[in-house]
């Protein structure tokens, strides 16, 4: 079932299966010296994000475990971030140019693009071996911890539905708080936090997809789209800060003024569209979200038991015949 929980199986066994698959794939990608190392690093960073999304969903089963392993995977991803972060700025600038291509010539973009490409290429030229070796060691340490993951039997920790519903609702509640803050302050950091919440929400919708595939799949796509739009907004905020900090590196002041003006316009569009999308995606409060996921999990468990009983009855009838 890959990156999805089977509600008919024990929660901790499913957690170990999903985490193990992601870590094994990450180890293979990093160990492959014949492939594109930078592409491998990019893929591994996405797997590390999936692992963080996974442990966030079951956070209430083992809060201390969550805090330790979330920090571990966060630090691993940061150690591998260099070239991808620089490449993202080039891609975002190209997206800005494409968005406004009918309004202006490309000359203003070129000095900025060349500077960003030079930074990206410098990052790409760095020796990845030490970071990859350190990541492989950290993955081995994490594997031993995650392979031993088990939920407790006391209170909420013994209830799979309660565990995943609480993890799902926590992200939804945080997102609703950030929507309010973003509307009130317009702070780039708040929009960046909302982006993180959208990404985790998309992962949780994926993990819980089997509860109701027809409903979860389109919501997952909506959450992904929200994360992508807010990712562009964040890239523009980073690029704006870099241009303002070292304007001499980005070409003429007039050219920069044009690009910064377009960037501001595009950010305003992205933020308004993102807030509208986020309000739809997180329309219900955290309590309602928690109740919905808990009920869906119980419905899925009951369906699995019914299917199992029907299969057993069919088998018995076949044997009797």
Q: Where are the domains of the chain?
A: 9-87+126-153, 159-307
Class of domain 9-87+126-153 as given by CATH: mainly alpha
Percent of the chain with pLDDT over 70: 93
**Which among 75, 74, 109 has a CA at the least distance from the CA of 94?**
109
- Mean of the pLDDT values across residues 131-139? 94
Taking alpha carbons only, the member of 294, 117, 282, 86 closest to residue 183 is 282
Let me know: does 81 contact 45? Beta carbons within 8 Å: yes
* Pairwise CA distance, residues 25 & 12, whole Å: 20
What whole-number distance in Å separates Cα of residue 156 and Cα of residue 153?
8
Q: For the whole model, what pTM was predicted?
A: 0.93
**Average pLDDT value over all residues in the chain:** 92
Report pLDDT digits (tens) over 97-133: 999 988 776 788 999 999 999 999 998 888 888 999 9
Q: How far apart are CA 220 and CA 213, in angstroms?
A: 10
CA dihedral over 45, 47, 53, 59, signed as positive or negative: negative
The string of pLDDT tens digits covering residues 235-248 is: 999 999 999 999 99
With cut-offs at 50, 70 and 90, classify the pLDDT of residue 312.
Answer: low
């Amino acid at each position: 079932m890959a990156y999805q929980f089977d509600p008919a199986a024990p929660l901790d066994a499913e957690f170990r299966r999903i985490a193990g698959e992601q870590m094994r794939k990450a180890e293979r990608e990093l160990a492959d010296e014949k492939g594109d190392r930078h592409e491998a690093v990019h893929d591994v960073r996405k797997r590390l994000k999936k692992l963080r999304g996974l442990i966030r969903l079951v956070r209430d089963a083992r809060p201390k475990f969550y805090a330790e392993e979330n920090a571990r995977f966060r630090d691993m991803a940061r150690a591998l971030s260099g070239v991808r972060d620089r490449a993202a700025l080039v891609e975002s600038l190209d997206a800005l140019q494409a968005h406004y291509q009918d309004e202006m010539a490309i000359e203003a973009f070129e000095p900025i693009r060349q500077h960003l490409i030079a930074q990206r290429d410098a990052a790409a030229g760095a020796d990845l071996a030490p970071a990859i070796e350190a990541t492989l060691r950290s993955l081995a340490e994490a594997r031993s911890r995650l392979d031993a993951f088990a939920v407790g039997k006391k209170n909420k920790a013994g209830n799979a539905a309660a565990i995943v519903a609480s993890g799902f609702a926590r992200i939804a509640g945080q997102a609703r708080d950030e929507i309010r803050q973003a509307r009130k302050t317009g702070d780039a950091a708040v929009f960046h936090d909302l982006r993180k919440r959208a990404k985790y929400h998309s992962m949780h919708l994926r993990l819980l997809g089997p509860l109701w595939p027809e409903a979860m799949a389109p919501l997952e796509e909506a959450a992904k789209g929200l994360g992508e739009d807010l990712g562009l907004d964040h890239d523009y905020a980073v690029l704006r800060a870099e241009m303002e900090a070292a304007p001499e590196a980005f070409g003429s002041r007039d050219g920069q003024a044009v690009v910064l003006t377009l960037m501001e316009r595009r950010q305003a569009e992205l933020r308004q569209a993102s807030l509208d999308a986020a309000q739809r995606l997180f329309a219900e409060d955290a309590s309602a979200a928690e109740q919905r996921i808990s009920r869906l999990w119980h419905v899925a468990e009951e369906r699995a038991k019914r299917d199992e009983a029907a299969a057993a009855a069919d088998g018995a009838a076949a044997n009797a015949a």
